[in-house]
């Protein structure tokens, strides 16, 4: 990386992006994932199983699609000699790249938000799973198997 404001570009041939562009794309990507997590959490609160399944599949696909962008962000951090986004922002400020530093900080905050939402959604999913398991045990105890067929006559 050059400190005169001209960044080394990252990405494959024909797909080169500046550090600022990589960070901007990362912020947009992570904010989109955060919104999908929020939607999934709301659907779990509403108890809509089909919509929950669709939202979870969409989120899984978004995370898979995010892998190349995350890799580019990791390359940027390595080029900056930074172990984390906080250090990357500090390094960018030292070389007077305020826009990129602000994006690194925004990305760090977005990732923190995603982590918090992931924990919340995971906790809610575990609660739903426990509730479903209890309901299935209750049905089995009154003579219904998991497929809903009557095993014993009343």
How many domains does one find in the chain?
A: 1
The string of pLDDT tens digits covering residues 14-33 is 445 789 999 999 999 999 99
**Choice among 24-33, 117-126, 136-145 with the minimum mean pLDDT:** 136-145
Q: Per the domain annotation, does 109 fall within a domain? A: yes
Crossing angle of the two packed helices 19-46 and 98-141, in degrees rounded to 10:
20
| Domain contains 78 | yes
9, part of any domain: no
Q: Which pair of structure tokens corresponds to residue 78? A: 């390595």
Phi, psi of 2 (to 5 degrees): -100, 145
143 vs 154: CA distance, rounded Å: 8
User: What is the pTM (predicted TM-score) of this model?
Assistant: 0.74
Which stretches does DSSP call E strand in the chain?
Answer: none
Please give the residue range of the domain that contains residue 116.
19-125
Give domain status of residue 44, yes or no.
Answer: yes
Query: How many other C-beta atoms lie within 10 A of the C-beta of residue 124?
Result: 17
């Amino acid at each position: 990386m050059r400190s005169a404001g001209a960044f080394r570009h990252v990405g494959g041939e024909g797909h080169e992006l500046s550090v600022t562009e990589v960070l901007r794309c990362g912020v947009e990507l992570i904010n989109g994932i955060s919104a999908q997590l929020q939607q999934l959490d709301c659907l779990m609160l509403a108890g809509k199983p089909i919509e929950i399944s669709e939202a979870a599949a969409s989120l899984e696909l978004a995370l898979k699609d995010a892998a190349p962008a995350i890799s580019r962000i990791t390359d940027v951090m390595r080029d900056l000699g930074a172990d984390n986004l906080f250090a990357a922002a500090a390094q960018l400020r030292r070389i007077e790249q305020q826009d990129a530093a602000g994006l690194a900080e925004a990305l760090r905050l977005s990732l923190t938000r995603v982590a918090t939402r992931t924990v919340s959604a995971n906790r809610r999913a575990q609660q739903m799973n426990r509730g479903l398991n209890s309901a299935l045990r209750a049905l089995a105890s009154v003579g219904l198997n998991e497929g809903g067929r009557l095993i014993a006559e009343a």
